[in-house]
Amino acid sequence: MTKAPASTEEPPTDAPGIGDTFPDLTVETSMGERSLPDEYEGEWLVLFSHPGDFTPVCTSEFVAFEQRREEFEALNAELLGLSVDRVHSHITWTDWIEENLDVDIQFPIVADDQGAVAQRLGMLHPGAGTATVRTVFVIDPEGTVRLRLTYPMEIGRNIDEILRSIRALQKSDADGVAAPADWPNNDVFGDRVLLSPPGTEADAAARKAAAVDDDELNYYDWWFVTRDR
């Protein structure tokens, strides 16, 4: 794939970022109209864009997402693709994938043939016309953007990392903790999680005292404490 030329063009300043409410959008997909994010209320949504149908890296990604779809569903997460191709292109492409690679794509793909959705979400590749970058939005059940990843056109996404990120976000939400690097397989801490630093001296002293009798806590310093997951 040809490398996109360098550009100083900036993405739209109103493109949603981490912590923002995902904008209300009505989109046409290969499986009918969808209202975002309302139609996915109560679920996690993984919205990912690709530069174009009938391209090698994108094809490999769609196969990979479909092969892991049930793992996303087990996390209450739904998949939704997007590119600036038309609906008939999406349908013909997924038919090609099933016929030639024996993989049936069972999640919808947004047909953003006018580029309005990609423009609104800051998904257009600078210097590459209407081609969408490999962007991933992870949106929580309340419609808040919790993660945004952007890959260059030349590199396919790592599905393991997207799944790991959702698991880590859900763990953080459930228990009020943070996940260390490479969680849950950190070389030093394994699957242990991190407690947020205390906000006052009194809280710091209380945490240190609690660690003496709590076998689940590993106290390194007042600001660095791990806990069994």
Q: State the catalytic residues.
A: 58
pLDDT at 88: 97
CA distance 125 to 11: 9
How high is the mean pLDDT of the chain? Answer: 92
Q: Is the peptide bond before 12 cis (omega within 30 degrees of 0)?
A: no
Over residues 114-120, the mean pLDDT reads 91
More confident: 208 or 131:
208
In the chain, the percentage of residues whose pLDDT exceeds 90 is 84
Is residue 6 over pLDDT 80? no
Mean pLDDT value across residues 136-149: 98
Whole-angstrom distance, CA of residue 29 vs CA of residue 45? 15
Q: Does the structure show a pLDDT above 80 at 34? A: yes
Label residue 90 exposed, middle or buried (CB < 10 Å: 0-12, 13-18, 19+).
buried
In this predicted structure, what is the pLDDT of residue 144? 98
**In order of start, what are the domains of the chain with their CATH numbers?**
25-158 (3.40.30.10), 176-229 (3.30.1020.10)
Question: Is residue 132 over pLDDT 80?
Answer: no
The pairs formed by 39-44 with CB atoms below 8 angstroms and a separation of 24 or more are 40/78, 40/139, 40/141, 40/143, 41/141, 41/142, 41/143, 42/76, 42/141, 43/76, 43/77, 43/78, 43/141, 44/75, 44/76, 44/77, 44/78, 44/138, 44/139, 44/140, 44/141, 44/166, 44/170
Q: Quick one: pLDDT at residue 25?
A: 97
pTM of the model: 0.90
- Is residue 43 scored above 60 in pLDDT? yes
- The pLDDT tens digits of the residues spanning 65-115 come to 999 999 999 999 999 999 999 999 999 999 999 999 999 999 999 999 989
* CA-to-CA dists, residue 95 to 54, 99, 226, angstroms: 11, 6, 48
Predicted confidence band of residue 128 (pLDDT cuts 50, 70, 90): low
Percentage of the chain beyond pLDDT 70 is 91
Whose CA is closest to 58, among 79, 91, 81, 87? 81
Band the pLDDT of 179: cuts 50, 70, 90. very high
